[in-house]
Amino acid sequence: MNLPDRTELRLQWTRQALADPEALLVRASNDASFRSYWRAQSAGRAWIVMDAPPDKEDIRPWLDVAQRLAHAGLHVPDIQAADPQRGFVLMEDLGDRTLLPELNGTNVDRLYGEAMDALLAMQQNADTVGLPEYDEARLVAEMELMPEWFLKRHLGFTPECEQWDVIESAFRALVTSAQAQPQVFVHRDYHSRNLLVTDEHSPGVIDFQDAVRGPVTYDLVSLLRDCYIEWPNERVEHWAGEYREKLAAAGVAVPDAKTFQRAFDLMGLQRHIKVLGIFCRLWYRDGKAGYLQDLPLVWKYTREVGLRHPETAELVALIETAIGDRNITLPVGAPSGANPFFAEGQAKSFAPEGAPTGNCGEA
């Protein structure tokens, strides 16, 4: 007897969960993982089906974190049905108005204000018991993706022994800074494509399955130095300072403004160093072409912020040497001219005119 393929199994499961034998599915979106999302209409209401093949991904962490965030008062999708053995979830449809296309210079203070209010509620109220720790091993393993996939695989650059010393010294400084911060609930991908503008209780929060307990500035810098949209640094630092004041008012033991800003900068460096590696791995290992086009803004953040701090300036110089005059959006062996296969989007930028821009996605 032939077993149903994944498409047929997904549709059968959805119809059973909705008690609607006529329900149909249309693709809603993909992400950088093996998950896919599908929209169903039934009895006048829209639903989302998440499909995570169990041999590729375990949906139980997603279900656990969804419950934690719902209990903390965050607007996450309400779950109608879940089947961890087969890798399906039927949930509320929060719509498709992601924050990114909504943002502009006029409304950003309001929309980021809502996002930071939600972040504060998450950090204050979400249960962290039993979550993985964002410990030294995890922080370093993430950053090691950069030399492996960005330097070696993408740029064809293998560091010499003394250059490894530079890399390791910078990594140690970033880990030390992260571990010195208050440790809270961390979403790990809190940015404009994982926040939804909703009619009530905005923003909706999605893609939270990789949550950990970690540094208080991690999600803040993910939001404010978002790989998909760029704002003037003065504005970013102002928002970060406002959030520091919110934390202090909530009773969190935050340092003085200068120390907090340094921690914010170094946390962003840890994240962006990691992402340089992840985006290259997504192409060379997983065949996801668009992520190479997302590299320039990540590198811009890494370079500009890294040069401000003596602990990381040598690392930036090393990466600059490896890049040379290379167009980092093109894969190994591609001609130097534009390749439309890899040009899948353009980031918004509200940085000063003349500032170089790029775009960046999240893995």
pLDDT classification of 150: cutoffs 50, 70, 90: very high
Q: From CA 264, how far away is CA 287, in angstroms rounded?
A: 32
For 68, other C-beta atoms within 10 Å of its C-beta total: 22
pTM of the shown model? 0.90
Instruction: Report which secondary-structure segment, H or E, holds 136.
Output: helix 136-143
pLDDT classification of 272: cutoffs 50, 70, 90: very high
pLDDT at residue 342 tops 50: no
Q: Per mean pLDDT, which range of 44-58, 139-153, 331-345 is the poorest? A: 331-345
Of residues 4 and 159, the one with the higher pLDDT is: 159
Q: Per mean pLDDT, which range of 143-152, 197-206, 342-351 is the poorest? A: 342-351
The answer to whether 92 touches 77, Cβ cutoff 8 Å, is: yes
Pairing of the two strands 36-42 and 45-51: antiparallel
Q: Which tokens hold the place of 162? A: 């003394």
Tell me the pLDDT of the chain averaged across its residues. 91
- Residue 51: predicted pLDDT: 96
Could you report the per-residue pLDDT of 306-321, keeping only the tens digit for each?
A: 999 999 999 999 999 9
- State the Cα torsion 187-189-192-196 to the nearest 10°: -50
- Residue 288: predicted pLDDT: 86
Q: Tell me the DSSP string of 78-89.
A: PEEEEETTTTEE
pLDDT at residue 283 tops 90: yes
115-118: Cβ within 8 A, 24+ apart: 115/190, 115/195, 115/203, 115/223, 116/220, 116/223, 116/239, 116/242, 116/243, 116/246, 118/74, 118/75, 118/195, 118/203, 118/205
Q: How many residues are recorded in the chain?
A: 363
Q: Which amino acid, residue 35?
A: R
Judged on CB neighbours under 10 Å (0-12, 13-18, 19+), 129 is: exposed
- Residue 336: predicted pLDDT: 60
Of 126, 130, 120, 119, which is closest to residue 251 (Cα–Cα)? Answer: 120
- Residue 362: predicted pLDDT: 39
- Residue 341: predicted pLDDT: 46
Q: From CA 172, how far away is CA 136, in angstroms rounded?
A: 9
Q: Which tokens hold the place of 363? A: 């893995």
- Residue 168: predicted pLDDT: 98
pLDDT at residue 30 tops 70: no
- Residue 291: predicted pLDDT: 85
Q: Mean of the pLDDT values across residues 83-87?
A: 97
Could you report the per-residue pLDDT of 196-225, keeping only the tens digit for each?
A: 999 999 999 999 999 999 999 999 999 999
pLDDT at residue 66 tops 80: yes
The answer to whether 155 touches 322, Cβ cutoff 8 Å, is: yes
